[in-house]
Structure 1
Amino acid sequence: MVERPNILVICGKNKRRSRTAEYMFKNDPRFNIRSAGLSPKSDRKISENDLNWANLVLVMETDHRAKIKEIYRHFQLPKIEVLNIPDEYEYLDEELIQIINEKTNDILKLKYNL
């Protein structure tokens, strides 16, 4: 059992969805969080260091998980969970915050009993 898990949140460009999640949970005492994007145009692009750091990766779409598994197939990847949140929200959108909160907390309860 991990004391305080490291959670990496991934979306396409790390501009709206994953950045919103990082902002929401950055002071949460239950876990550490950081966010990144898959696109070369990302504000912060995913790296091997991120994957080494993470105990759990949360991606917004199934395609994101497939892409990570393809790009880092030589790598021992942490568990990757899909949140299924489409790219139709702005940064810190109220509905986006509600969806991320609900889905992330469900996963944390299941995985870490947090």
Structure 2
Amino acid sequence: MNVLFVCSRNEWRSPTAETIYRNHPTIFAKSAGTSSSARIKINQKHIDWAEVIFVMEKKHLQLIEQKFGNHFRQKIIVLNIEDVYQYMDEELIDELKTKVAAYL
């Protein structure tokens, strides 16, 4: 399954999620950001590739809908994970695993 993780700048939250699921036997993970200053900016290829999209906050969903419309074949899930963590923070990892597990 192709899974895309999205945060703002693609520096801490979504790259952590991508790293966690990188070696999963049935999940292919990528990450991107919604900000113009994002390390990897979300684009139409990301949207087309993904079977499931996890966004960290509701604002990311809203920005994706503004940029790409709101008619998606895949489900977009808001994880409600605030931007208060560093890359690979143990609390972030725990929160991601707990919230994502409910959908995968």
After TM superposition, the score normalised by the length of structure 2 is 0.95
Amino acid at match of 2:103: I
Q: Which runs of 5+ in 2 are unaligned?
A: none
Deviation at 1:46?
Answer: 0.3
The count of aligned residue pairs is 104
Q: Does 1:90 pair with 2:86?
A: yes
The equivalent of 1:38 in structure 2 is 34
Equivalent-residue separation in structure 1 for 2:15 and 2:73 (angstroms): 22
**Identity fraction in percent:** 38
Deviation at 1:107?
Answer: 1.3
Equivalent-residue separation in structure 2 for 1:103 and 1:92 (angstroms): 16
Amino acid at match of 1:52: D
Q: Which runs of 4+ in 1 moved over 3 A?
A: 74-77
Summarize the Cα distance change of 1:106–1:53 in structure 2 as closer, same or farther, 3 Å threshold: same
Equivalent-residue separation in structure 2 for 1:77 and 1:33 (angstroms): 18
Equivalent-residue separation in structure 2 for 1:86 and 1:107 (angstroms): 19
Q: 1:29 aligns with which of 25, 46, 52?
A: 25
1:10-89 equivalent positions in 2, closer than 5 A: 10-73=6-69, 76-89=72-85
Helix, strand or coil at the partner of 1:33? strand
Equivalent-residue separation in structure 2 for 1:106 and 1:74 (angstroms): 23
Contact 1:51 / 1:77 at 8 angstroms: preserved in 2?
no
Amino acid at match of 1:79: K
Summarize the Cα distance change of 1:74–1:99 in structure 2 as closer, same or farther, 3 Å threshold: closer
The equivalent of 2:98 in structure 1 is 102
CA RMSD of aligned residues (A): 1.2
* Larger-gyration structure (1/2): 1
